[in-house]
């Protein structure tokens, strides 16, 4: 009998700790499938963030380092410089990457550091219990913006991918979404291109993935996907923002 | 030119070259006075030996690059001065927690805050008591001459690897900036070093996956990890104590480390010429603190004068190391001002007269 669907070899066996309906498990699977397809796992070192994905090291069949909050791109830089023939990816959330870790992500991209970043943007702090993130939308209620995010008080949500697209070192930048199958497929294509850019030594690559947080958004998983489509996607446009053909 | 020839070098460059000789091929740093010659030297030297020099965007990034590289199994170093070392504390705590070997150089300057750029020893507490969060220790070595700094830096990489732990070279603005003749050890080929089986270089042919991590969410597991670390720290206390005692048969002792020990030595000589029975205890390992030096002197020592370029930090360890009936006086200058040997001499005379009259 032909197997039509299997667990990627690059994922460990067993259940994740993620909440019901959370997209992290799907994003992990997408990354693992690309690691399988490109046969990368045995020379991959992943870097997990501080946030819901802190335990990513339990779920991938590859070496891992756990980084301090926001510092994953610096840790990944140290690894890649020490083992240049390795494949190094970070997996970071929006609190980690777009708030406390802005210096590290900007300069890793600016240096053209040959690492790949998987940036999960669900517009909220998940692990700490639903606080406002730099990516939280206007009017979005969180535990630290209980009346809804007030832009006059807290500024505007940051579009990290567009910001990094101003840097010549960023060889590949794309934003995908997980709210339906069509966009999952596009996101997986972006991930593969990002990983190929690192493998060809062309520079820094990042895929931002719009994701959900049913628990902290106070929604059912299905409602959260609808909310993504109606609110996150319009503010955070999807597509490729930089690819090697555009890079000098 | 023989590699072992005496060379006149600047302190900051001497540490850098000693690290290269020890097989360090990765350096991550950020500019701050008075240690700039160290990264500057590395920026030229590393390419010559096939190594990596990277000027990070911040001290925070630099120490996390050290974390990544150390976790990938290479000999790695960073350097900074006091305010920059403060910024590295988070990373140092993670490095200690994840048990990664690396060498950190601190050319201490006056504080607190932005302070001054002149020499100080006011980071003693931060270095030896754990400047970052959590229960951790690192070996802290305080050289008094450039030759000693070269030798200790070379050895620091072995100590770091032996215990999988960070090691700090604690210098100051003087020792970083001064020039002295030194002899460098031979250049080590890092490929000849033992393989670090625990390092994350990609799984390759390894049976198990490797993980660099300091997270133990289960309190019992975190307690077990802390107990494991405590056993390691006890081993360091057993094996890594270093100190020098000059005139161990004296009755009174100056206690000083690093640059201050050089000044104290001059005071000791002056005092002895004037008939005072004075010696010098010079801690070299500041952690583990050489309590043994004081235990060995317990039968004869009638008083100590601790001298530091601080408001009084190491003196607390001296007081913990001697019987409470023995007076331990303190003399210090801070903020970048160095103590004058004549003032140290006067302080010691006062101590000897004071205690002498009582007995």
Distance, C-alpha B149 to centroid of its chain: 9
Whether ipTM tops 0.90, in short, is: yes
Helix (H) or strand (E) holding A88: strand A87-93
What is the predicted pLDDT for the residue at B357? 44
β-strand pairing of A87-93 with A116-121: parallel
In a domain? residue A203: yes
Please tell me which of the candidates A63, A67, A103 has its beta carbon nearest to residue B209: A63
In a domain? residue A112: yes
In a domain? residue A212: yes
Task: Provide the number of CB pairs (under 8 Å) joining chain A to chain B.
Answer: 133
Structural domain count, chain A: 1
What is the predicted pLDDT for the residue at B212? 98
Per-residue pLDDT of chain A (248 residues; tens, 9 = 90+): 888 989 999 999 989 999 999 999 999 999 999 999 999 999 999 999 999 999 999 999 999 999 999 999 999 999 999 999 999 999 999 999 999 999 999 999 999 999 999 999 999 999 999 999 999 999 999 999 999 999 999 999 999 999 999 999 999 999 999 999 999 999 999 999 999 999 999 999 999 999 999 999 999 999 999 999 999 999 999 999 999 875 54
Per-residue pLDDT of chain B (359 residues; tens, 9 = 90+): 445 799 999 999 999 999 999 999 999 999 999 999 999 999 999 999 999 999 999 999 999 999 999 999 999 999 999 999 999 999 999 999 999 999 999 999 999 999 999 999 999 999 999 999 999 999 999 999 999 999 999 999 999 999 999 999 999 999 999 999 999 999 999 999 999 999 999 999 999 999 999 999 999 999 999 999 999 999 999 999 999 999 999 999 999 999 999 999 999 999 999 999 999 999 999 999 999 999 999 999 999 999 999 999 999 999 999 988 899 999 999 999 999 999 999 999 999 998 654 43
B195 shares contact with chain A (CB less than 8 Å): no
For the stretch B154-206, pLDDT in tens is 999 999 999 999 999 999 999 999 999 999 999 999 999 999 999 999 999 99
At B106, phi and psi to the nearest 5? -120, 110
B66 shares contact with chain A (CB less than 8 Å): yes
In a domain? residue A17: no
What is the predicted pLDDT for the residue at A34? 98
Helix (H) or strand (E) holding B331: strand B328-332
Please tell me which of the candidates A64, A78, A107 has its beta carbon nearest to residue B67: A78
Q: Dig out the tokens for A44 from the structure.
A: 């991959």
In a domain? residue A1: no
Helix (H) or strand (E) holding A81: helix A72-82
β-strand pairing of B26-29 with B76-80: parallel
B28 shares contact with chain A (CB less than 8 Å): yes
Query: How far from A30 is each of A4, A190, B33, B59, CA to CA, in Å?
Result: 16, 10, 47, 34
Helix (H) or strand (E) holding A146: none
**Residue A218 belongs to domain with CATH number:** 3.40.50
Q: Which residues 207-266 of B are in CB contact (within 8 Å) with A?
A: 209-215
For the stretch B122-162, pLDDT in tens is 999 999 999 999 999 999 999 999 999 999 999 999 999 99
The domain in which residue A237 lies consists of 24-94+103-121+159-246
Can you list the domains of chain B with their CATH numbers?
7-201+213-239 (3.40.50.970), 244-358 (3.40.50.920)
In a domain? residue A153: no
- For residue B98, the chain A residues in CB contact (below 8 A) are 65-66
**Cβ-based neighbours of B186, under 8 Å, separated by 6 or more:** B3, B4, B21
Question: d(Cα A237, Cα A148) in Å, to the nearest integer?
Answer: 22
A86 and B28 in contact by Cβ < 8 A? no
| Total-model pTM | 0.97
The residue with tokens 């705590």 is B93
């Amino acid at each position: 009998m032909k197997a039509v669907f299997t667990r990627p070899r690059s994922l460990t066996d067993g259940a994740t700790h993620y909440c019901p309906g959370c997209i992290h498990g799907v994003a992990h699977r997408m990354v693992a499938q690309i690691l399988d397809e490109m046969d990368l796992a045995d020379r991959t070192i992943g870097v997990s963030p501080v946030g819901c994905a802190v335990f990513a090291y339990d779920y991938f069949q590859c070496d891992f380092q756990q980084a301090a909050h926001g510092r994953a791109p610096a840790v990944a830089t140290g690894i890649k410089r020490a083992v240049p023939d390795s494949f190094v990816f970070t997996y970071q959330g929006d609190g980690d990457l777009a708030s406390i870790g802005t210096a590290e992500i900007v300069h890793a991209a600016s240096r053209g550091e040959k690492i790949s970043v998987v940036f999960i943007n669900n517009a909220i702090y998940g692990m700490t219990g639903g606080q406002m993130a730099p990516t939280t939308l206007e009017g979005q209620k969180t535990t630290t913006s209980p009346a809804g995010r007030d832009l006059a008080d807290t500024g505007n949500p940051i579009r990290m991918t567009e910001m990094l697209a101003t840097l010549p070192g960023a060889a590949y930048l794309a934003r995908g979404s997980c709210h339906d199958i069509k966009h999952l497929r596009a996101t997986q294509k972006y991930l593969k291109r990002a990983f190929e850019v690192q493998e060809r030594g062309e520079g820094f690559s990042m895929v931002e993935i719009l994701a959900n947080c049913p628990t902290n958004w106070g929604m059912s998983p299905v409602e959260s996907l609808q909310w993504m489509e109606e609110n996150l996607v319009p503010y955070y446009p999807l597509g490729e923002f930089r690819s090697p053909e555009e890079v000098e | 030119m023989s590699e072992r020839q005496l060379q006149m070098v600047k302190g900051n460059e001497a540490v850098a070259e000693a690290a290269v000789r020890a097989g360090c091929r990765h350096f991550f740093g950020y500019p701050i006075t008075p240690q700039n010659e160290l990264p500057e030297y590395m920026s030229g030297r590393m390419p010559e030996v096939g190594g990596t020099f990277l000027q990070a965007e911040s001290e925070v990034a630099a120490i996390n690059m050290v974390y990544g590289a150390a976790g990938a199994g290479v000999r790695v170093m960073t350097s900074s001065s006091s305010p920059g070392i403060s910024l590295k504390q988070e990373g140092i705590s993670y490095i200690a927690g994840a048990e990664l070997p690396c060498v950190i150089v601190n050319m201490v300057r006056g504080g607190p805050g932005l302070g001054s750029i002149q020499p100080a020893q006011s980071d003693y507490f931060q270095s030896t008591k754990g400047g970052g969060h959590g229960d951790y220790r690192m070996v802290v070595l305080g050289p008094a001459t450039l030759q000693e700094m070269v030798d200790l830096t070379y050895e620091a990489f072995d100590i770091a690897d032996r215990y999988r732990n960070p090691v700090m070279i604690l210098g100051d603005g003087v020792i970083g900036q001064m020039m002295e003749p030194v002899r460098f050890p031979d250049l080590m080929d890092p490929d000849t070093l033992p393989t670090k089986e625990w390092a994350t270089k990609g799984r390759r042919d390894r049976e198990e996956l490797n993980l660099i991590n300091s997270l133990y969410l289960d309190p019992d597991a975190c307690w077990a990890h802390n107990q494991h670390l405590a056993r390691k720290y006890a081993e360091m206390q057993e094996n890594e104590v270093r100190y020098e005692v000059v005139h161990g048969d004296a009755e009174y002792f100056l206690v000083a480390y690093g640059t201050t020990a050089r000044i104290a030595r001059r005071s000791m000589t002056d005092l002895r010429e004037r008939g005072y029975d004075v010696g010098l205890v010079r801690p070299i390992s500041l952690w583990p603190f050489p309590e043994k030096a004081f235990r060995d002197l317990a039968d004869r020592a009638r008083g100590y004068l601790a001298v530091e370029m601080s408001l009084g930090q190491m003196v607390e360890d001296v007081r913990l190391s001697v019987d409470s009936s023995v007076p331990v006086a303190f003399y210090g200058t801070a903020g970048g001002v160095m103590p004058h040997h004549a003032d140290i001499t006067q302080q010691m005379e006062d101590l000897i007269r004071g205690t002498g009259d009582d007995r």
